[in-house]
Amino acid sequence: MDNILSTQDLSRDFISGRDTVHALKNINVRFRPQKLTILRGRSGSGKTTLINLLGALDIPTSGKVFLEGDELSGAPQNQRDAIRCKKMGFVFQSVALISLMSAYENVEFGLRIADYDPKNRKDRAEEVLGLVGLTKRMHHRPGELSGGEQQRVAIARAMAHRPQIVFADEPTAELDSHTGLQVVWLFKKLIEKEGLTIIMTTHDPSMMEVADHVYTLEDGEIIDER
Ligand SMILES: Nc1ncnc2c1ncn2[C@@H]1O[C@H](COP(=O)(O)OP(=O)(O)O)[C@@H](O)[C@H]1O
Ligand SMILES: [Mg+2]
């Protein structure tokens, strides 16, 4: 299997009033398993729209998304939801942890929602919090953690249920550049240790060195690939 995820002439239009916004125009991208791919581009270039389509959170206007060779975009909603819950994880710019729960409880709660084997939830939550370097802080609540630590809890929660692909939409946008780079290096470590495939968006040029693959978007089109 060469690509874990790919698109074919993927387009997404948004109709607002009388105007149609062509947010994505005939996008053809491929993602290799166990790699870190960055989608870069200015605000409004279509990064979030693409992530939402790849993650089956949205339906294309035309074109297709393939997951391991099967068309994801054409599957019925309940099947898309099931695939998303089992095979995908998501990290967002604003961390969205539950403030009354400790780091451990946030991750354990995520495992519960993902219907992860109850017998193994505790061990798995502790294991992933260890992987993101938070063993000593796992009983702290989000408010007692730094921004970077909170994002690491969110990453642990996104990957605890052993998804194949983790999508991270501007996960470093609210962090300083040093802390942001640490998050990207953590992604590389998780790819190595857990066999994840990670697709992240950013508009920070300093992250590009660390990525295996970079697509640059402009006005809904891929203008560069390396
Ligand atoms: N729900 C929506 N309704 C109307 N326009 C939208 C919607 N979502 C995104 N867009 C438009 O699509 C374009 C791409 O947006 P987006 O994918 O959010 O870009 P990025 O994540 O790169 O900042 C923008 O012009 C944006 O205004
Ligand atoms: Mg965006």
Q: Per-residue DSSP letters for 143-190?
A: GGS-HHHHHHHHHHHHHTT--SEEEEESTTTTS-HHHHHHHHHHHHHH
Write down the residue that tokens 């730094």 correspond to: 146
Check: CB of residue 143 under 8 Å from CB of residue 178: no
Check: CB of residue 109 under 8 Å from CB of residue 142: no
45 CA → ligand 1 middle, Å: 8
pLDDT at 78: 95
**pLDDT tens-digit series, residues 58-114:** 999 999 999 999 999 989 999 999 999 999 999 988 878 999 999 999 999 999 999
**pLDDT tens-digit series, residues 106-135:** 999 999 999 999 999 999 999 999 999 999
- Structural domain boundaries, residue 94: 5-225
23 CA → ligand 1 middle, Å: 6
Check: CB of residue 57 under 8 Å from CB of residue 48: no
Token representation of residue 28:
């053809």
Which residue's CA is the closest to the ligand 1 atom numbered 14? 46
CATH number at residue 172: 3.40.50.300
**pLDDT tens-digit series, residues 186-197:** 999 999 999 999
pLDDT at 95: 73
Which residue's CA is the closest to the ligand 1 atom numbered 17? 46
195 CA → ligand 2 middle, Å: 26
Helical segments of the chain, H only: 47-54, 77-87, 103-113, 121-131, 147-159, 177-194
User: 5-16 and 62-67 as β-strands: parallel, antiparallel, unpaired?
Assistant: antiparallel
169 CA → ligand 1 middle, Å: 13
User: To test ligand 1's pocket by mutation, which of 11, 12, 14 has the most ligand atoms within 8 angstroms of CB?
Assistant: 14
121 CA → ligand 2 middle, Å: 32
Q: Above pLDDT 70, what percent of the chain?
A: 100
Which ligand is closest in space to the CA of residue 169?
Answer: 2
Which atom from ligand 1 is nearest to the alpha carbon of 52?
A: 17
**pLDDT tens-digit series, residues 147-179:** 999 999 999 999 999 999 999 999 999 999 999
Question: How many structural domains compose the chain?
Answer: 1
pLDDT at 216: 97
pLDDT at 1: 55
Token representation of residue 192:
């190595």
CB neighbour list of residue 32: distance below 8 Å, 6 or more residues apart: 2, 3, 4, 197, 212, 213
What's the rounded Cα separation, in Å, for the pair 90 and 123?
21
- Residues in contact with ligand 1 by the CB-under-6-Å rule are 14, 16, 21, 23, 41, 43-49
Whether the pLDDT of residue 211 is over 60: the answer is: yes
11 CA → ligand 1 middle, Å: 13
What's the rounded Cα separation, in Å, for the pair 130 and 136?
8
pTM of the model: 0.95
Which atom from ligand 1 is nearest to the alpha carbon of 203?
A: 22
**pLDDT tens-digit series, residues 8-53:** 999 999 998 999 999 999 999 999 999 999 999 999 999 999 999 9
